[in-house]
């Protein structure tokens, strides 16, 4: 029988919701997570896979890092490829030894779900008709249906961790939130392939035909992307056509792209979006429900984790001392860093993609930018420190 009361009611069992729930558990704070999809669906959804050092450290501190440490691939750089040549950006050297870890979001979610279940966490999947109420009072409520029955969960606070299309953000009265948005005139066609990655490092490639990215999940499974139209019809892309286009864009002298069976493919649109503030009364938005970044730079999951780290500390302080100043500053603390990450994701996207209305001037400028980033230590350091993850500034 689901709880009728909890301290923090969490909507959504993605990275934001599950990390928050476990962080709260570790601080002795009770939470209930309500997710409208099945556990299997959430754990099998193919999403990002690059973890900043700060994300890795947090997951390890939370006791959910064992498999990540064993199976994750630690990378100390990326390659930028343009005009048929690759140029390494060496994070280790540029940032004093820091790197990133490749470990799929789906695996992070499996580890978090296992940890939540092992510690008696209340995570309810396949709940329906979730709606949030009274969050402008001290007794917010979440109503939902499960197995045909209607329930109401009374909470002290609600965390809206329900992604970009969730119900929490639209429940905030009109006029409270300012939205900032940029929609890009292209998307990414992504594949998961049974093909060992052809490069040790991730390759971000600028090409006349458009951007391409070589990434990976494991030493046996590659993850590759092609810039495409935002509304590209995946049915028009046979596996052969995808591999051919990847070969053309990623071509580099003395280098060969290994092919293999395509396990999954899909198209995603690209946007930059955020709301300010990320809070209204006792409803706090975290992760994709508050902001979206284009995937160039792989920041989405890391931003979600950073938000809930701030939120968990705020709740901790409130429950220990009654002091809500950290909770009151939640938006301000998060948004300062989020804007910088938005800037970085926009910058990587703008540098590496072909814009449909791009002029020859724009294209030469992009090449000059890539040339600069790969030849100036100052510029390369800027890319590296953003890629491995900026610190949170608490003041
Ligand atoms: N009721 C309950 N759950 C909901 C509702 C709803 N009305 N709407 C959405 N959800 C669930 C979704 O099914 C999803 O599991 O909320 C969860 C939100 O998870 P994500 O979309 O993964 O968002 P978040 O946890 O903020 O993580 C952001 O994950 O996939 C990425 O690109 C994204 O990397 C970014 C990161
Ligand atoms: C991925 O592996 O899915 C990935 C890697 C780097 C990115 C985006 C996505 O910038």
85 membership: H or E segment, kind and range: strand 85-90
Starting from the edge strand earliest in sequence, which strands make up the sheet with 202-206, in order?
85-90, 77-82, 202-206, 212-216, 222-228, 178-193, 262-276, 291-292
How far apart are alpha carbons 9 and 286 in whole angstroms? Answer: 13
pLDDT at residue 48 above 90? no
- What is the structure's pLDDT at 2? 61
SS3 107: helix
Backbone angles phi, psi at 260, to 5 degrees: -175, 175
Nearest atom of ligand 2 to the alpha carbon of 50: 5
Residue range 198-217: mean pLDDT, rounded: 96
pLDDT bucket at 194, cuts 50 / 70 / 90? very high
- What is the structure's pLDDT at 46? 86
Indicate whether residue 190 lines ligand 1 (CB < 6 A).
no
pLDDT, tens digit, 9 for 90 and up, residues 111-165: 999 999 999 999 999 999 999 999 999 999 999 999 999 999 999 999 999 999 9
Best mutation site among 2, 107, 127, 166 for ligand 1 pocket (most ligand atoms within 8 Å of CB) = 166
Q: Ligand 2 centre and the CA of 41: distance in Å? A: 20
Which residue among 25, 299, 330, 353 is the active-site one? 299
pLDDT at residue 27 above 90? yes
pLDDT, tens digit, 9 for 90 and up, residues 361-378: 999 999 999 999 999 999
pLDDT at residue 225 above 90? yes
- What is the structure's pLDDT at 297? 93
Beta bridge partners of 213: 204, 225
Look at phi and psi of residue 8 and say left if phi exceeds 0, alpha if psi is from -120 to 50, else beta: beta
Backbone angles phi, psi at 299, to 5 degrees: -100, -15
pLDDT at residue 47 above 60? yes
8 A C-beta contact, residue 351 and residue 370: yes
Tell me which residues have their CB closer than 6 angstroms to ligand 2.
48-50, 202, 215, 223, 295-298
Q: Report if pTM > 0.85.
A: yes
Residue range 246-253: mean pLDDT, rounded: 96
Nearest atom of ligand 1 to the alpha carbon of 16: 25
Which residue among 204, 206, 225, 330 is the active-site one? 204
pLDDT at residue 170 above 80? yes
How far apart are alpha carbons 289 and 32 in whole angstroms? Answer: 18
CA distances from 327 to 82, 187, 277, 278, 318 (A): 45, 36, 12, 11, 8
pLDDT bucket at 395, cuts 50 / 70 / 90? confident
Torsion of CA 308, 312, 318, 321, to 10 degrees: -150
Indicate whether residue 48 lines ligand 1 (CB < 6 A).
yes
80 membership: H or E segment, kind and range: strand 77-82
CA distances from 76 to 65, 344, 375 (A): 19, 19, 18
pLDDT at residue 1 above 80? no
Burial grade of 153 (CB within 10 A; 0-12, 13-18, 19 or more): buried
């Amino acid at each position: 029988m689901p709880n009728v009361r909890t301290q923090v009611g969490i909507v959504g069992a993605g990275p934001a919701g599950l990390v928050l729930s476990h962080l709260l558990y570790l601080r002795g704070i009770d939470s209930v997570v309500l997710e409208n999809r099945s556990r299997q669906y959430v754990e099998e959804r193919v999403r990002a896979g690059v973890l900043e050092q700060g994300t890795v450290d947090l997951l390890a501190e939370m006791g959910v890092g064992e498999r990540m440490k064993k199976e994750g691939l630690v990378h100390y750089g990326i390659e930028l490829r343009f005009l048929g040549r690759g140029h390494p950006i060496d994070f280790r050297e540029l940032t004093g030894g820091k790197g990133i870890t490749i470990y799929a979001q789906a695996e992070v979610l499996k580890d978090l779900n296992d940890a939540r279940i092992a510690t008696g966490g209340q995570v309810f999947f396949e709940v329906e008709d979730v709606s949030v109420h009274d969050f402008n009072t001290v007794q917010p409520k979440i109503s939902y249906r499960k197995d045909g029955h209607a329930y109401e969960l009374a909470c002290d606070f609600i965390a809206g961790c329900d992604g970009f299309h969730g119900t929490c953000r639209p429940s905030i009265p009109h006029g409270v939130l300012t939205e900032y948005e940029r929609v890009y005139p292209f998307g990414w066609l992504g594949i998961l392939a049974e093909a060992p990655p052809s490069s040790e490092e991730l390759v971000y490639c600028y090409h006349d035909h458009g951007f391409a990215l070589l990434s990976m999940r494991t030493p046996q499974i590659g993850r590759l992307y092609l810039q495409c139209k935002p509304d590209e019809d995946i049915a028009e892309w046979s596996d052969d056509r995808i591999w051919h286009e990847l070969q053309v864009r990623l071509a580099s002298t003395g280098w060969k792209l290994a092919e293999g069976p395509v396990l999954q493919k899909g198209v995603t649109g690209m946007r930059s979006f955020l709301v300010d503030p990320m809070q209204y009364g006792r409803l706090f938005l975290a992760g994709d429900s508050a902001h979206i970044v284009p995937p160039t730079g792989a920041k989405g999951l890391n931003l979600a984790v950073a938000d809930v780290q701030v939120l968990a500390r705020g709740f901790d302080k409130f429950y220990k001392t009654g002091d809500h100043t950290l909770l009151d500053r939640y938006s301000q603390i998060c948004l300062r860093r989020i804007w910088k990450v938005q800037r970085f994701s926009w910058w990587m996207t703008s540098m590496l993609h072909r814009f449909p209305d791009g002029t020859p001037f724009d294209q030469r400028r992009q090449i000059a930018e890539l040339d600069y980033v790969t030849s100036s230590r100052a510029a390369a350091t800027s890319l590296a420190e953003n890629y491995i993850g900026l610190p949170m500034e608490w003041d």
